[in-house]
Amino acid sequence: MELLPHKTAKPSRRLTLAGVIAIGGTSLLIGCLALADAQVALNASLRGVAVWWEVLFPALFPFFVLSDLLLGFGIVHLAGTLLDPFMRPLFRLPGVGGFIVAMGFVSGYPVGSRLTSRMMEQKLITRSQGERLVAMTTTSDPIFLIGAVCIGFFGSLQVAPALAVAHYSSALLIGIGSRFQWNKDEPALEQAPPPTGNRLRAALSAMHKARIADGRPFGVLLQQSLQSSLALMMIVGGLVVFFSAILDLLVHSGILSLFRDTIAMLLNSLGLSPNLASAFMNGTFEVTLGAKAAAADQSLPLVDRVAVAAFVLSWGGLSVHAQVAGLMSRTAWRYFPFARARLIHGFLAMLLVYVVWPWFHLEESANPTFFAWAIGTPWKPSGAFLEQTFIPALTGLPILFFLILAFIVIAGSIAIGIRKIGWKRNHYRN
């Protein structure tokens, strides 16, 4: 009986040793490349610093501070109590997950991971629930999607509806689909009994209890929120600069040529242009570089370029993966289910672009691919229609936040109704 731990420990030791050798060898290779071509590393690092300071810092830092303040004041607990009856039948998640979903969609990665890690540390959600929440809330924020990708890279606001619908709808589908996962080995958390009286009163009571448990005065809470958010932004900036330099060094050295050629062959077999391989390659490492490469070649069909951008935004890049892994490092969160969810999210978002494209797009390339042809003759709304209806709903972040909460309430109510109908049918049969 004592030999079993010894036998199972050997593969674990070997796997750990292999991981250490792989990481050490990769670090040594990158260091040699940086020394051999220091100018490339410097230019890539400066570009990464510019992306962090001009795009990421103003987009993420306020939400990092806000998320800490909302946690300290118990707003998350208030929202969790109110959303609990809708989140459980829809996503099989506690009510605090609804607030994390809304904040994650509005704020972008890695705010959802930050909130999820705090909830896991407070034992409000289990590991399985946390992993599913992170998989669903690792999305781009609307400011980056519309301002940087659509306007900055594609030069058009009118691609925003199709890209946004594909990106966020596929994330919600990931959350709904993952509700059927069940980890039998994981112990369930003790759940408080549902409130018997007014739910709003129970929500306010939960907020008050959370605020009393936190106990920090507002000045101390604000100071610590600023300090932790600044430290986190430095980590985010360092990872962006690091992966930007790695990508340029690997590209200039020719090491990624086989990877790019393999992607080009796969794209060609699917009827897509091999010129999009660079976007997939760049997006594997860093989302900003991948989205920019997807929009660069204007000779390609617009629908294909938007579809690739949707994949890149949903995959997130290894830079975002590293940010999420760093935030979740204090919990029992696992990376491989997250990476699998990112791949599924990317391909699903890419497919949804072709599905919703006939409803939103304004122009078609002269040589559409098989995917674009398969959609059929598109409906072409006017630009004024898009700018007066859909775009303001996305650019107004508070409106988007409450729209997501409204979706959770409506969809949860539908799920509750379906469940009650099923119970009634089973009751009549018995």
Q: pLDDT tens digit string along 362-376?
A: 554 434 444 443 434
pLDDT > 90? residue 345: yes
Neighbours of 416 (CB within 10 A): 15
Residue 234 and residue 56 in contact, taking contact as beta carbons nearer than 8 Å: no
pLDDT > 90? residue 315: yes
- Residues above pLDDT 90, as percent of the chain: 19
- Average per-residue pLDDT in the chain? 79
pLDDT > 60? residue 113: yes
116 pLDDT band, cuts 50/70/90, is very high
2 pLDDT band, cuts 50/70/90, is very low
pLDDT > 50? residue 219: yes
pLDDT > 60? residue 381: no
Residues 140-184: pLDDT tens digits?
988 888 888 888 888 888 888 899 999 999 999 999 888 777 555
What token pair was written down for 77?
């607990």
Task: Report the candidate in 60, 235, 236, 66 with the shortest Cα–Cα distance to residue 141.
Answer: 60
pLDDT > 90? residue 349: yes
Decide which of 308 and 96 is more confident. Answer: 308
pLDDT > 50? residue 385: no
Residue 126 and residue 186 in contact, taking contact as beta carbons nearer than 8 Å: yes
Neighbours of 140 (CB within 10 A): 28
Rounded CA separation 130/199 (Å): 25
Residue 291 and residue 283 in contact, taking contact as beta carbons nearer than 8 Å: yes
pLDDT for res 371: 41
pLDDT for res 123: 86
pLDDT > 80? residue 403: no
pLDDT for res 168: 92
Residues 288-304: pLDDT tens digits?
888 989 998 888 899 99
The average pLDDT across 206-225 equals 88
User: Where is mean pLDDT largest: 218-222, 376-380, 381-385?
Assistant: 218-222
Q: Where are the alpha helices (DSSP H) in 74-110?
A: 75-91, 96-107
- Indicate the domain borders of the chain: 59-142+150-181+192-237+315-429
Residue 1 and residue 218 in contact, taking contact as beta carbons nearer than 8 Å: no
